[in-house]
Every structure is written in structure tokens, then in C-alpha cells.
Copies of this chain bind each other. A is one copy, B any other.
Amino acid sequence: MWTYETSVVWTEEKKGETHAGGKPPIEVATPPEFGGPPNIWTPEDLLTSSAASCIMTSTLFFAEKAGIEMRSYMSNASGVMEKTPNGLAITRITVEVAITLVDASQEAAIRKAVDRAERTCPISKSLRCPVEVKLHINGNQETS
């Protein structure tokens, strides 16, 4: 069992700050579409990034286990919030992952690693909605 402790302090209007031990604080706010200010992380953004960063850390875990070397990994995620019979909720998160490999022959192996990440990520397991991963392997013309 592991426990993750964070705090939130209201600062002014629709804004606050969240802390986690010695980690850099993050300013948080109500989303603009619900009366909050622009350009501040919202609870919905944090949830989307939580899922997307868990897909990354899980992929790193399975890639390392399989001896796969990545040149780059990036993802774009979108979390959709909708009215449901149960109230407002995030109903799906899609994570589009783009990976460049050092060795293009490891494509099948990295696909397997990302698939395992998608199936076992603890954040996805904690959500009611599906977290769908779409994987794109970039061609690698570079020689190094």
C-alpha cells in the first residue's frame, strides 16, 4: 500500500495552489468555462495529465524490462467531460503516443510494451472511463 499526500490552499477568487511535499507548487483554478481564469491548470487538466503521464511511466517500465531503447516519446491527451445521468464526469480519455525508436527492429516489442502499459496503468484502473492509447511509431531515418 502506498499513500500520496498533497494539499490545496485557496488563494483568491477561483484560484488556489496545490503542494506535494518538496515538489514545485502548481497553481490551480476553476476552468474558464465555469467562471475561472485562463492559463491555469484545472482539476480536469490534472486528471488528463495524470492518466497520460501514467501511460508514459508504465511504458518506460515495460520498455526497460524488454530492453527497448527509445529515442523519443511524446503524447497528446484529451479528456472529455460531459453531462451524464450521474452528473458531470470525464467520460473518456484518449492518449495519442508517438515514439521514435533507436532500433526500428524493436517495433513489435514497443507495441507490446505500450499495450501492457495501456492494460495495467494504475491511473486507468482508478477511472470509471476508458483511457484509450493510440500508438504511432515514427520512422527513423537518422543514423547515429
B4, B72, B125: the one within 8 Å of A79 (CB): B4
Interface size class of A (residues with CB under 8 A): 35 or more
Option from B30, B31, B77, B81 in Cβ contact (under 8 Å) with A60? B30
Q: Are B23 and A41 in contact (CB under 8 A)?
A: yes
Contact (Cβ within 8 A) A84 B9: no
Evaluate contact between B77 and A6: CB separation under 8 angstroms: yes
The answer, yes or no, to whether A143 is at the interface (CB within 8 Å) is no
Known contacts A2-B33, A16-B56, A120-B88; is A49 also within 8 Å of B28 by CB?
A: yes
Q: Is A74 within 8 A of B26, CB to CB?
A: no
Does A27 interact with chain B (Cβ within 8 Å)? yes
Q: Is the interface of A mostly helix, strand, loop or mixed?
A: mixed
A87: interface (CB < 8 Å):
yes
Give the chain B neighbours of A6 by CB distance below 8 A.
45, 48-49, 52, 76-77, 79
Bound Cα distance A122, B2 (Å): 24
Residues of B within 8 A of A22 (CB): 38-39
Instruction: Tell me which of B23, B50, B79, B86 contacts A43 (CB under 8 A).
Output: B50
A residues contacting B by CB (< 8 A) are 1-10, 14, 16, 18, 20-24, 26-31, 33-36, 38-57, 60-61, 70, 72-82, 84, 86-90, 120-123, 125-129
